[in-house]
Amino acid sequence: MESTESVLKRVMNKNTVRNHDSGTLFSGGNDNTEKCPLCKDRGIILQGDTAVPCSCMEKQRTDNRFRYARLSRELLNCRFERFHLDYYRSLDGTDHLNNAKKALAASQDFTDKIIDNPHEVGLLFTGPVGSGKTFLAASIANLLIEKQCSLLFLIVPDLLDELRATFAHKNETSEFDLLDIARTIPILILDDLGAHNYTEWSRNRIYSILNYRMNEQLPTVITTNLNFEEIEHYLGERTCSRLLQMCRVFRLSTEQDIRMQNYVKRENLKEK
């Protein structure tokens, strides 16, 4: 399997949010079966005397971006259209619903605006487990990847594990590479900035990523189940203050964990 660093390196495009490169001309893949009847997998077709990129290249580029962005299979299906506000209806008032509407609107606004403004202010979704934060963040990611944006979706505990592993192997170059990519990728999504066992070392790594991105005005979308007091407790005051500067904050909450609501629905269907 290709190493994370090498995958990450290839996804990088430090200059623009949207990558206008023409992709790599592929030559039939590994299985030797021809996939595109138009160009015979050459990636280009002739229009008169001129060679132009085949339409399959766009799809290939999008597929590659999805692979490099590292979204898990489950998250690939997250789309704004499937963010159901019904989960947020409750008997005890309209707060859940109103907050969810605001978070959804802000997410859609972000994906619209970032195409023209690569320095759009980021988003931070806070709220309990199972309130739809990751779903929204992944919906943003999927839409932007389809629009050919360079984006990386990192789950914070996994990121810290990877950084620790490269650091432990005394491979400082790799650690620096991964950090460097998280710092400089045009759009970064940090999922689950939660109550993990942060050491001074990991706190510094998170700070270094966020501080760089704040200074360079690179948009970051973050999900966390911590409130700001807790963020300050776990990650320190300077990180907390940077988050406020670089993100608009939205709270998501429901009467009951959405996964639990789905579980009940699924099991009820099976009993019928």
Name the residue nearer to Zn ion (CB basis): 53 or 236.
53
Binding to Zn ion by residue 61, rule CB under 5 A? no
**125 bridge partner residues:** 223, 250
Q: Given candidates 11, 54, 103, 190, which one binds Zn ion under the rule CB under 5 A?
A: 54
Q: How far is the CB of 22 from Zn ion (least distance, A)?
A: 13
Name the residue nearer to Zn ion (CB basis): 26 or 207.
26
Contact 51, 57 (CB under 8 A): no
Name the residue nearer to Zn ion (CB basis): 54 or 189.
54
Binding to Zn ion by residue 46, rule CB under 5 A? no
The stretch near Zn ion (CB under 5 A) out of 10-18, 50-58, 116-124, 194-202 is 50-58
Name the residue nearer to Zn ion (CB basis): 36 or 188.
36
Angle between helices 200-215 and 237-246 (to 10 degrees): 30
Give the binding-site size for Zn ion (rule: CB under 5 A).
5
Binding to Zn ion by residue 56, rule CB under 5 A? yes
Q: Given candidates 22, 38, 89, 201, which one binds Zn ion under the rule CB under 5 A?
A: 38
Q: How far is the CB of 54 from Zn ion (least distance, A)?
A: 3
The stretch near Zn ion (CB under 5 A) out of 13-21, 32-40, 108-116, 138-146 is 32-40
The stretch near Zn ion (CB under 5 A) out of 48-56, 95-103, 139-147, 164-172 is 48-56
Binding to Zn ion by residue 23, rule CB under 5 A? no
Binding to Zn ion by residue 210, rule CB under 5 A? no
Q: How far is the CB of 120 from Zn ion (least distance, A)?
A: 34
Of 252, 219, 259, 260, which Cα lies nearest the Cα of 104?
252
From CA 102, how far away is CA 98, in angstroms rounded?
A: 6
User: Could you give the C-alpha distances from 4 to 10, 30, 74, 98, 203, in angstroms and in order?
Assistant: 10, 20, 20, 39, 22
Dihedrals phi, psi of 63, to nearest 5 degrees:
-60, -45
Contact 234, 199 (CB under 8 A): no
CA torsion 15-16-20-24 (nearest 10°) is: 50
Quick one: tokens of 37?
């009847």
Q: Given candidates 8, 17, 39, 178, which one binds Zn ion under the rule CB under 5 A?
A: 39
Q: How far is the CB of 148 from Zn ion (least distance, A)?
A: 17
- The alpha carbon of residue 238 and the mean position of all alpha carbons in its chain are separated, in whole angstroms, by 23
From CA 99, how far away is CA 85, in angstroms rounded?
A: 10
SS3 94: coil
At position 36, the amino acid (one-letter code) is C
Interacting residue ranges for Zn ion, rule: CB under 5 A: 36, 38-39, 54, 56
